[in-house]
Chains A and B, each alone.
Chain A
């Protein structure tokens, strides 16, 4: 080899080897730095690249009636998406628009732009809550729609004929931060569905399941490559079922009776507070949408003058009418203010101060004792009785029966109603703006006093159980708080007799509520309505031969006298209850 001016060959070899070795070591140290020193950060990066967290929506708990007939169930709904890469020239946009109502041009441009990106293999969502029918239509023409995909998630379905609209409530979607953070325990995410009203809301924690989390390997194009096994994964946990105290058959009957009417019906078991049927009419149709309630629909209902969103059973406040007289009568007896033989003469009108107060029967009832005052619902008797009781005592005892406060029922939005007392009247009218005459109105259930049907039914719950009832609730088998009013047994017996006579005597006001299957007791009421026909009240209870008791409150708005619409509706429900509980 040429020696030249350079180094000897052996030296050159050593120099070349040293350089090579240095380069190799340099390269190795670079790999060492990446693979050993920065291992964790690259591993993390690699996982971020390829592991996608998939949330699997847990179905909400099923809601059953007391006989385990499902009232609210789940069904799959579908989310429609397109994989841009698979959308070819043959895609029939116009047919697609016809089926889905998605505008052709918008979809076209979306797909064209997506095709140019890396994400062209990744399905993008076009429409959520596609129902089975729409899906079928698309599937039938599948060849016309290359690239179409469906994914499934659960939505509510209502398989039962019983609507139970206001009790069940509806769902909404978590759309803002406040909602998301509303309950840390529930750990809401954007887009989650949650119970917004009714039982769906109150029992949210029970009904809402735990969403499953699955990790999937996704390649650079977004194509799924199966499960990524990790201990951070957990399975779907379906929401727990809710077994209601509602009897769907009774509910169906009650709903049919209120069809095309405005008003409310509540049926309960006074012995444990279970609600057996609960209707508020008019209602809205939970079946008319899939998934969470659409805002547009909600607005429409909200603006409807019939107020279908209002739950009349707990939010409708009406004057109680004559039903409230029972409390004054009971109080007066119990406290020996009068005895059962104390009587008045009713000639159809009563003069107090400078005002005339009338009985509903202008002809007058003649000689009226307490029993008759209830049977005929005579006003004159109470105009005189209340003067012996006094305002404060009347307010107190009425409140003790649960008026003017929430009943504690397990659906949200309950109204308190109003039980007037001196303070209330002074605040509203100033101390000189009202006179004792107002009291004469209150005692017959007119004027400022306002009650909900749910409060009214409690009178009957208490009478039928001699003052030992329970707060209302919708869940079968749970014990709610007791509702107690302590009156003498003789007083309860008197009230039971009186209400029984109202229904069972041929000239009683509540005779339309009679049932051949059991012993019915009750009281009618007429809530004066300055805007139109009066509202028709009836509240009562039936005792079957097998000692089962069902209490009930009915109000039919603009139904006229309680003895008509209210009582006859009650009669049909008593019959139905008796048939169902033979």
Chain B
């Protein structure tokens, strides 16, 4: 028992709050409380989203403090164990009842756990371990494929739950982490190249230009001839197959579903409905907003899931562009210092964890905010620290706690 504790708990942690990291987070949390106070209509205070969020934040303080005592290297040492537990956990959800149209939860009596939520953190650990274990002159392609595999397997599994948002997060964090670990950008490029080939295939001129660009890039990057040819053929294949699959294999309704997913506004009564209402809310806010409690879109329920997915729309409507700028400024401030600290940290694992965490938070924000203004499809990703919701908030605070811990103890 004692042995386990020494593994997990740091002997002599330095405990102090790094305000460069925590300050922007506090701003976001306060904004969240202000917005939830505005949207809370429950007559009983205890039942309101505001008071519950307050409760979660109080618990978050304990999570933050608790995380200061953790030994970061413990997660390095046992990253693969965690990974296996994660896979088993996600597998377990397949045997659980469907709730709200998806199977994301493990139910233990009254307690439900969403493994994919903690998975976001755990995948950062496993990738950080994989990448920090590499020596100089590692095989870039091999590492690239292993990384994509490690993130891709759980991503596919949660995508199947279905939980597109989380799958996006799993995959999205691989890029910054790979880049931070020093993989050649060329390899990052070839991963997205087939996807671009697919898109380019819808226009013959775009496709030719894209192929030309690929050839130039391949020649410029000078990969092994065999590798280059394989990649080129793969891309051409993707491009050529796409129109065939699109018109011969997919059914009309499937094509429509894809188009609607990419551009929800083409279906204003269905998929686009929420986004139109959200944009209406945000647009009507102007610079200073309608004032707290005065947003008609918010308070007359034209705005869907306003406490979670569309809390940004509430902010846009009631507090205007001003609040949006505040949110984005807080994030860019946070990102700036995260990158600065990540650079300073001697320990590769910890440095990569920092990059992974900041990526998780930033991708959440981008996808969520992009969704509210019609730039991204509705995926159900909340805005970190702003959206209402307990387990996600605690996950995010845990990440901040660990970041604070790393900065204090590993620089």
Interchain nearest-CB distance for B317 vs A (Å): 8
A27-B370, A50-B300, A225-B299 known; A43 vs B284 contact (CB < 8 Å): yes
Residues A49 and B296 in contact, CB atoms below 8 Å apart: yes
Residues B182 and A35 in contact, CB atoms below 8 Å apart: no
Binding site secondary structure of chain B: helix
Q: Which residues of chain B come closer than 8 Å to A51, judged between CB atoms?
A: 296
- Indicate if A36 sits at the interface (CB-CB under 8 A): yes
Q: Which residues of chain A come closer than 8 Å to B302, judged between CB atoms?
A: 46, 49-50, 219-220
- Indicate if B316 sits at the interface (CB-CB under 8 A): yes
Q: Which residues of chain A come closer than 8 Å to B332, judged between CB atoms?
A: 20-21, 24
Residues B182 and A5 in contact, CB atoms below 8 Å apart: yes
Residues A46 and B281 in contact, CB atoms below 8 Å apart: yes
Residue of B nearest to A20 (CB): B335
Binding site secondary structure of chain A: helix
Interchain nearest-CB distance for B17 vs A (Å): 23
Residues A35 and B343 in contact, CB atoms below 8 Å apart: no
Q: How far is the CA of A50 from the CA of B280 in the complex (A)?
A: 11
Q: Which of A35, A41, A47 is B324 in contact with, Cβ under 8 Å?
A: A35
A13-B342, A31-B316, A49-B297 known; A2 vs B283 contact (CB < 8 Å): no
Residues B373 and A34 in contact, CB atoms below 8 Å apart: yes
- Indicate if B366 sits at the interface (CB-CB under 8 A): yes
- Indicate if B331 sits at the interface (CB-CB under 8 A): yes
- Indicate if A1 sits at the interface (CB-CB under 8 A): yes
Residues A42 and B283 in contact, CB atoms below 8 Å apart: yes
Residues A13 and B343 in contact, CB atoms below 8 Å apart: yes
Q: Which of A30, A36, A45, A217 is B286 in contact with, Cβ under 8 Å?
A: A36
Interchain nearest-CB distance for B325 vs A (Å): 7
Q: How far is the CA of A49 from the CA of B277 in the complex (A)?
A: 9
What mask results when residues 269 to 282 of chain B are scored 1 for a CB within 8 Å of chain A, else 0? 00000000101111
Residues B297 and A35 in contact, CB atoms below 8 Å apart: no
- Indicate if B78 sits at the interface (CB-CB under 8 A): no
- Indicate if B183 sits at the interface (CB-CB under 8 A): yes
- Indicate if A6 sits at the interface (CB-CB under 8 A): yes
Q: Which of A4, A41, A221 is B136 in contact with, Cβ under 8 Å?
A: A4
Q: Which residues of chain A come closer than 8 Å to B325, judged between CB atoms?
A: 28
Q: How far is the CA of A32 from the CA of B282 in the complex (A)?
A: 10
Residues A16 and B339 in contact, CB atoms below 8 Å apart: yes
Q: How far is the CA of A42 from the CA of B303 in the complex (A)?
A: 14
- Indicate if A399 sits at the interface (CB-CB under 8 A): no
Q: How far is the CA of A499 from the CA of B84 in the complex (A)?
A: 124
Q: How far is the CA of A5 from the CA of B351 in the complex (A)?
A: 19
- Indicate if B301 sits at the interface (CB-CB under 8 A): yes
- Flag the segment in B173-181, B191-199, B235-243, B392-400 that touches A: B173-181
- Indicate if A335 sits at the interface (CB-CB under 8 A): no
Residues A218 and B369 in contact, CB atoms below 8 Å apart: no
Residues A45 and B284 in contact, CB atoms below 8 Å apart: yes
Q: Which of B180, B279, B301, B328 is A28 in contact with, Cβ under 8 Å?
A: B328
- Indicate if A12 sits at the interface (CB-CB under 8 A): yes
Q: How far is the CA of A219 from the CA of B181 in the complex (A)?
A: 52
Interchain nearest-CB distance for A79 vs B (Å): 24
Q: From residue 153 to 194 of chain B, which have CB atoms closer than 8 A to chain A?
A: 176, 179-185
Residue of B nearest to A27 (CB): B369
A13-B340, A220-B300 known; A27 vs B328 contact (CB < 8 Å): yes
Residues B339 and A6 in contact, CB atoms below 8 Å apart: no
Q: Which residues of chain B come closer than 8 Å to A23, judged between CB atoms?
A: 362, 366
Q: From residue 338 to 373 of chain B, which have CB atoms closer than 8 A to chain A?
A: 339-340, 342-343, 348, 351, 355, 362, 366, 369-370, 373
What is the size category of the interface that chain A forms with chain B? 35 or more
A30-B373, A35-B316 known; A2 vs B138 contact (CB < 8 Å): yes
How many B residues touch A, CB cutoff 8 Å? 54
Residues A219 and B286 in contact, CB atoms below 8 Å apart: no
Residue of A nearest to B178 (CB): A6
Interchain nearest-CB distance for B102 vs A (Å): 24
Q: From residue 92 to 126 of chain B, which have CB atoms closer than 8 A to chain A?
A: none
Q: How far is the CA of A36 from the CA of B324 in the complex (A)?
A: 12
Q: Which residues of chain B come closer than 8 Å to A433, judged between CB atoms?
A: none
Q: Which residues of chain B come closer than 8 Å to A28, judged between CB atoms?
A: 324-325, 328
Residue of A nearest to B340 (CB): A13
Residues B321 and A42 in contact, CB atoms below 8 Å apart: no
- Indicate if A9 sits at the interface (CB-CB under 8 A): yes
- Indicate if B24 sits at the interface (CB-CB under 8 A): no
Residues B300 and A219 in contact, CB atoms below 8 Å apart: yes
Residues B282 and A12 in contact, CB atoms below 8 Å apart: no
Q: Which residues of chain A come closer than 8 Å to B134, judged between CB atoms?
A: 2
Residues B279 and A34 in contact, CB atoms below 8 Å apart: yes
Q: How far is the CA of A17 from the CA of B185 in the complex (A)?
A: 16
Interchain nearest-CB distance for A393 vs B (Å): 80
Q: Which residues of chain B come closer than 8 Å to A31, judged between CB atoms?
A: 282, 316, 321, 324, 369, 373
- Indicate if B287 sits at the interface (CB-CB under 8 A): yes
- Indicate if B264 sits at the interface (CB-CB under 8 A): no
Q: How far is the CA of A39 from the CA of B321 in the complex (A)?
A: 11
A-B contact pairs, 19 of them (CB 8 A): A1-B181, A2-B348, A4-B140, A5-B182, A6-B182, A6-B184, A13-B340, A16-B355, A20-B362, A23-B362, A31-B282, A31-B316, A35-B286, A36-B286, A46-B284, A49-B296, A217-B296, A217-B300, A225-B299
Please list the residues of chain A having a beta carbon within 8 angstroms of any beta carbon in chain B. Answer: 1-6, 9-10, 12-13, 15-17, 20-21, 23-24, 27-28, 30-32, 34-36, 38-39, 41-43, 45-47, 49-51, 217-221, 225
